[in-house]
């Protein structure tokens, strides 16, 4: 009796916890409402199954617990029942999988008008790069990495000269414009993760991975690393600031291109060399 009640209480407490939990996803700031909706749908279906199974168990424990003289029924199989349960399960699974695959198709289909933004991970910081006026990002290679060129950009690629390079600073994005985030690493695996955007993808040294989203809400959002990358994994932070188009352009004006940064460094270096002579 007590056991049956406790089993039932576990099921009820789980449902109540779900309903009243103050710990829930952070308010969405991207176009991926479909992902949230698929999670909600999955919660409904799986929650119903969980409650039904545990409640049924509790009922059996209550109703068929051993008492003097009870004898169990003898029924090895019931083809019909097993068949119906299998079909019912298959329908429930399909009801979750089908919308999931439709949304996944959207997730992997980048719209043609998406602007490219590069995010580079390294132990343990983030750097960003935006295409310049030519709308193209120049090539890069881990072999080019040096103190002067921490992102490893190709100094001989004309397409890369006007690229806007953002180091040790936050990324700004304009509101409502689809973004294709190109992800790159020069050392180990990282994962560019902004909880409010829902999207995430590992960055792999030697490859460029991507995902896309459209920011739908202005604000400042935490960037975390979601793939274990060594000792300071938990401290690898940055911020993304989503703002109105006009504010974004004002910010963009103040940023420096790769050519400018290289030039400044050359000047600084020359000055330093002269002084030390």
Partner 1 sequence: MVDVPFDTVAGVPPAEVGEVELYHPRSWWTRYVFSQDAKIIAIQYSITAMSIGMVALVLSWLMRLQLGFPGTFSFIDPNQYLQFITMHGMIMVIYLLTALFLGGFGNYLIPLMVGARDMVFPYVNMLSYWVYLLAVMVLVSTFFVPGGPTGAGWTLYPPQAILSGTPGQDWGIVLMLASLILFIIGFTMGGLNYVVTVLQARTRGMTLMRLPLTVWGIFTATVMALLAFPALFVASVMLLLDRLLGTSFFMPTLVEMGTLTKYGGGSPILFQHLFWFFGHPEVYIVALPAFGIISDLISVHARKNIFGYRMMVWAIVAIGALSFVVWAHHMYVSGMHPYFGFFFATTTLIIAIPTAIKVYNWVLTLWRGDIHLTIPMLFALAFIITFVNGGLTGLFLGNVVVDVPLSDTMFVVAHFHMVMGIAPIMAVFGGIYHWYPKVTGRMLNEVLGRFHFWVSFLGAYAIFFPMHYLGLLGMPRRYHDIGETAFVPASAHDLNAFMSVAALIVGFAQLVFLFNLIWSLLKGKEAGGNPWGAASLEWQTPETPPGHGNWGKELPIVHRWAYDYSVPGAARDFVAQNEPPAGLSAQGSHA
Contacts of partner 1 in 224-253 (CB under 8 A): 224-235, 237
Residue 212 bridge partners (DSSP) = 180
HEC per residue, 129-181: EECCCCCCCCCECHHHCCCCCCCCECCCCHHHCCCEEEECCCEEEECCCCEEE
What is the token pair recorded at 243? Answer: 């703002």
Tell me how many residues contact partner 1 (CB under 8 A): 101
For partner 1, give the closer residue by CB, 200 or 256. 200
DSSP, res 129: E
**Any idea which residue has 């939990």 for tokens?**
21
Report, in Å, the least distance between residue 21 CB and partner 1.
5
Q: What tokens were used for 233?
A: 């994994």
Token readout for 205 is 């040294």
10 binds partner 1 (CB under 8 A): yes
SS3 78: coil
Task: Pick the piece of the chain touching partner 1 (CB under 8 A) from 111-119, 157-165, 166-174, 206-214.
Answer: 206-214
Q: How far is the CB of 8 from partner 1 (least distance, A)?
A: 11
SS3 at position 194: coil
What does the block give as tokens for 27? Answer: 């308010």
Of the pair 77, 253, the CB lying nearest partner 1 is at: 77
**Per CB under 8 A, 111 contacts partner 1:** no
| Site membership for partner 1, residue 142 (CB under 8 A) | yes
Cβ distance to partner 1 smaller for residue 107 or 251: 107
Report the candidate in 111, 139, 132, 118 with the shortest Cα–Cα distance to residue 212. Answer: 111
DSSP H/E element including 125: strand 125-130
Q: Does position 19 bind partner 1 by CB under 8 A?
A: no
What mask of x and - would describe binding to partner 1 in positions 26 to 65, judged by CB under 8 A? Answer: x-----x-xx--xx--x--xx--xx--xx-xx--xx--xx
Query: What sign results for the dihedral spanned by CA atoms 165, 171, 175, 179?
Result: positive
The contact pattern for partner 1, residues 174-193, with x = CB under 8 A and - = no contact, is ---------x--xxxx-x-x
Q: What element of type H or E holds 11? A: helix 2-20
Count CB-CB contacts under 10 A for residue 127: 21
122 contributes a contact to partner 1 by CB under 8 A: yes
96 is a site residue for partner 1 (CB under 8 A): yes
Contact between 7 and partner 1 by CB under 8 A: the answer reads yes
Residue 44 or 272 having the CB closest to partner 1: 44
Among 133, 143, 254, 274, binds partner 1 (CB under 8 A): 143
Q: How far is the CB of 254 from partner 1 (least distance, A)?
A: 24
Distance CA 230, CA 227 (A): 9
Closer to partner 1 by Cβ: residue 110 or 175: 110
Closer CB to partner 1, 162 or 210, in the complex = 210
């Amino acid at each position: 009796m007590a056991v049956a009640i406790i089993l039932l209480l576990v099921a009820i407490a789980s449902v109540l916890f779900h309903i009243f939990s103050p710990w829930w996803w952070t308010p969405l700031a991207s176009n991926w409402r479909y992902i949230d909706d698929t999670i909600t749908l999955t919660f409904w279906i799986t929650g119903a199954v969980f409650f039904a199974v545990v409640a049924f168990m509790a009922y059996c424990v209550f109703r068929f617990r051993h008492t003097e003289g009870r004898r169990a029924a003898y029924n090895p199989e019931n083809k019909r029942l097993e068949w119906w349960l299998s079909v019912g399960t298959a329908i429930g699974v399909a009801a979750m999988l089908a919308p999931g695959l439709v949304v996944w198709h959207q997730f992997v289909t980048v719209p043609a008008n998406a602007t490219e933004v590069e995010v580079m991970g390294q132990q343990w910081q983030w750097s960003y790069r935006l295409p310049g006026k030519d709308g193209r990002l120049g090539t890069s290679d881990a072999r080019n990495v040096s103190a002067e060129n921490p992102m490893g950009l190709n100094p001989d690629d004309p397409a890369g000269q006007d690229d806007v390079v953002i180091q040790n600073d936050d990324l700004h994005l304009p509101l409502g414009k689809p973004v294709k985030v190109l992800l790159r690493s020069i050392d180990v695996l990282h994962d560019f993760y902004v909880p409010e955007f829902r999207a995430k993808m590992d960055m792999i040294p030697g490859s460029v991975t991507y995902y896309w989203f459209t920011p739908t809400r202005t604000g400042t959002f935490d960037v975390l690393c979601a793939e274990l990358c060594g000792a300071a994994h938990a401290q690898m932070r940055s911020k993304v600031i989503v703002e109105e188009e006009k504010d974004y352009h004002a910010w963009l004006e103040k940023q420096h291109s790769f050519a400018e940064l290289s030039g400044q460094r050359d000047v600084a270096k020359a000055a330093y060399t002269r002084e030390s002579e």
